[in-house]
Amino acid sequence: MELKEKVEISLNKVRPLLQADGGGIDLLDVTEDGVVKVKLTGACGNCPMSQMTLKMSVERAIKAEVPEAKEVIT
């Protein structure tokens, strides 16, 4: 399975949590060196806590399931 595909599967598990607060997340790219690029949407797009959500929830969940992923950025 391709790295981008693994990340998308992992994101599908995080999406309901974001959607519960009116937000969302789109996968933009996964680089060869394991950097995951995403876009936070909806309420998450302009939330002052979005960077904490990104690092503490999204990045942690992805890294737990996809060890090849090194970092998640917007």
Q: How many other CB atoms are found less than 10 A from the CB of residue 20?
A: 8
Could you report the per-residue pLDDT of 42-58, keeping only the tens digit for each?
A: 999 888 999 999 999 99
pTM for this model (two decimals) = 0.92
Q: Give the model's pLDDT for residue 29.
A: 97
Q: Where are the domains of the chain?
A: 3-73
Between the alpha carbon of residue 56 and those of residues 1, 6, 59, 64, the distances in Å are: 26, 19, 6, 12
List the chain residues with pLDDT less than 50.
none
Q: Give the model's pLDDT for residue 9.
A: 97
- Length of the chain counted residue by residue: 74
CATH number of 3-73: 3.30.300.130
Residue with tokens 């595909």: 5
Q: Give the model's pLDDT for residue 60.
A: 96
Q: Give the model's pLDDT for residue 20.
A: 94
C-alpha neighbours within 13 Å on the C-beta side of residue 63: 12
